[in-house]
């Protein structure tokens, strides 16, 4: 029994480590042109990722590895309130700041942080507790009221930053957990219908979202504008061929492809490692997801299972959205690739979530 539980955890942690190390390897060379242009040194972004992402993330991982996840139930609501406060601080002058046309970051004591990343984990912790407490009532339509209230509050604050991609991820996490808790199919169908109407409205009211949809439907319509990143990404992926140009030998990172270390990093991986390397990375994510689902299904208690399910839905869906978007198979949303894309707060929170999953597996 113990060996059966230990194997999925070993696979889960090994695949996590491989993805993080791959991200740092890609960051080492892909960030150099951007780092030199913006900061006058070669490894500014790599050092930032290691210090504020990897080191803080490992500290968070080991903390949650030893912290009994059942104790999270007692602080689930304060955890969610903290996420709300941090999201509100984004709009406070001198605390929140704008970059790339969006207010998504706060700066406290010289440390920059993206609250929406914390909000993903906070809503998982809260919903796992709430769904467990309402497990006998979850099929009742009245349960949608508190569910939609918290989802609307967190999602709404993220949406007005604006960050539609993260908004969609948070909604998908909540719906995935709600479905996993046993909600009726017709209830979920109704939620999807409402979501489709909301999504269509959000696209209709913002010109840049309409342009992004147009560039997806017709990538050649605005090659120098909204379609530039997608077209350059496709060129980058295609230039890698079967086996790639070699790690560090890609050329698109030299001011050709936007967001080379952010949401376009999968294109850089494809250019340097080729089709074989890109598929291997996707298979590694698949192994991570399947081992995570195995841990969730064998958790032995409802709360732990919901926690793991939420984390797996989050990382799995975000990977799905990023890779399909960069391949031009769905509209591009700007969602980063988990464990690999640049972002210190994102990596730290992701590793914290991995620690929670590992704690659930160990306490089975």
Tell me the three-class secondary structure of the chain, residue by residue: CHHHHHHHHHHHHHHHHHHHHHHHHHHHHHCHHHHHHHHCCCCHHHHHHHHHHHHHHHHHHHHHHHCCHHHHHHHHHHHHHHHHHHHHHCCCCCCEEEECCEEEEEEECCEEECHHHHHHHHHHHHHHHHHHHCCCCCCCHHHHHHHHHHHHHHHHHHHCCCCHHHHHHHHHHHHHHHHHCCCCHHHHHHHHHHHHHHHHHHHHHCHHHHHHHHHHHCCCCCCCCCCHHHHHHHHHHHHCCCCCCCCCCCCCCCCCCCCCCCCCHHHHHHHHHHHHHHHHHHHHHHHHHHHHHHHHHCCCCHHHHHHHHHHHHHHHHHHHHHHHHHCCCCCCCCCCCCCCCCCHHHHHHHHHHHHHHHHHHHCC
Q: Angle, to 10 degrees, between the axis of helix 115-133 and the axis of helix 302-326? A: 140
Round to whole Å and give the CA distance between 31 and 147. 41
pTM of the model as a whole: 0.89
Round to whole Å and give the CA distance between 13 and 156. 33
The Cα angle at residue 166 between residues 247 and 181, in degrees rounded to 5: 110
Q: What is the pLDDT of residue 3?
A: 52
Owner of token pair 């490992």: 58
Q: What is the pLDDT of residue 108?
A: 73
Q: What is the pLDDT of residue 218?
A: 67
Q: What is the pLDDT of residue 1?
A: 44
Q: What is the pLDDT of residue 216?
A: 66
pLDDT tens, N- to C-terminus, the chain (364 residues):
455 557 899 999 999 999 999 999 988 888 888 888 888 888 889 999 999 899 999 999 999 999 998 899 889 999 999 999 999 988 888 787 776 666 777 877 667 788 889 999 999 999 999 988 887 777 777 778 888 888 888 988 888 877 888 888 998 898 888 888 777 777 777 777 877 887 778 777 777 666 767 766 666 666 656 667 777 888 888 888 888 888 878 787 777 778 788 888 898 999 989 999 999 999 999 999 999 999 998 887 889 999 999 999 999 999 999 999 888 888 777 789 999 999 888 999 999 999 999 999 987 6
Phi-psi region of 220 (alpha: psi -120 to 50; beta: other; left: phi over 0): alpha
Give the bridge partners for 96, in sequence order: 106
Please check whether residue 353 is in contact with residue 235, taking contact to mean a CB–CB distance below 8 angstroms. Answer: no
Round to whole Å and give the CA distance between 57 and 352. 6
Q: What is the pLDDT of residue 4?
A: 55
Domain segments of the chain as ranges: 8-362
Q: What is the pLDDT of residue 80?
A: 93
State the CB neighbour count (10 A cutoff) for residue 110.
Answer: 5
């Amino acid at each position: 029994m113990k060996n059966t539980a230990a194997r999925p955890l070993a696979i889960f942690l090994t695949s996590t480590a491989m993805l993080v190390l791959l991200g740092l390897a890609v960051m080492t060379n892909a960030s150099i042109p951007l780092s030199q242009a913006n900061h006058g040194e070669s490894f500014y972004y790599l050092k930032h990722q290691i210090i504020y992402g990897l080191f803080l993330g490992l500290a968070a991982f080991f903390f949650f590895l030893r912290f009994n996840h059942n104790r999270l139930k007692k602080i689930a609501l304060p955890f969610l309130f903290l996420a709300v406060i941090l999201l509100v601080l984004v709009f406070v002058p001198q605390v929140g700041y704008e970059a790339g046309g969006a207010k998504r970051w706060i700066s406290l004591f010289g440390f920059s942080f993206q609250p929406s990343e914390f909000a993903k984990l906070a809503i998982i912790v809260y919903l796992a507790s709430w769904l467990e407490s309402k497990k006998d009532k979850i099929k009742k339509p009245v349960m949608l009221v508190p569910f939609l209230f918290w989802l609307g509050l967190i999602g709404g604050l993220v949406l007005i930053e604006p960050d539609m991609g993260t908004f969609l991820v948070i909604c998908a996490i909540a719906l995935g957990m709600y479905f996993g808790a046993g909600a009726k199919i017709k209830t979920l169908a109704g939620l999807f219908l409402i979501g489709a109407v909301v999504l269509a409205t959000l696209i209709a009211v913002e010109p840049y979202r309409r342009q992004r949809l147009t560039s997806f439907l017709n990538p050649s319509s605005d090659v120098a504008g909204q379609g530039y990143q997608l077209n350059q990404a496709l060129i980058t992926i295609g230039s890698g061929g079967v086996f790639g140009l070699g790690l560090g030998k890609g050329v698109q990172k030299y001011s050709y492809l936007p967001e080379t270390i952010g949401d376009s990093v999968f294109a850089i991986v494809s250019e340097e490692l080729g089709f074989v390397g890109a598929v291997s990375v996707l298979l590694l994510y698949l192994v991570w997801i399947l081992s995570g689902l195995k841990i969730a299904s064998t958790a032995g208690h409802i709360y732990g299972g919901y926690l793991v399910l939420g984390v797996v839905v989050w990382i799995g869906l975000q990977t799905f959205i990023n890779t399909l978007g960069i391949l031009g198979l769905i509209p591009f949303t700007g969602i980063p690739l988990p464990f690999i894309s640049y972002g210190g707060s994102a990596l730290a929170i992701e590793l914290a979530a991995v620690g929670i999953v590992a704690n659930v597996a160990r306490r089975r």
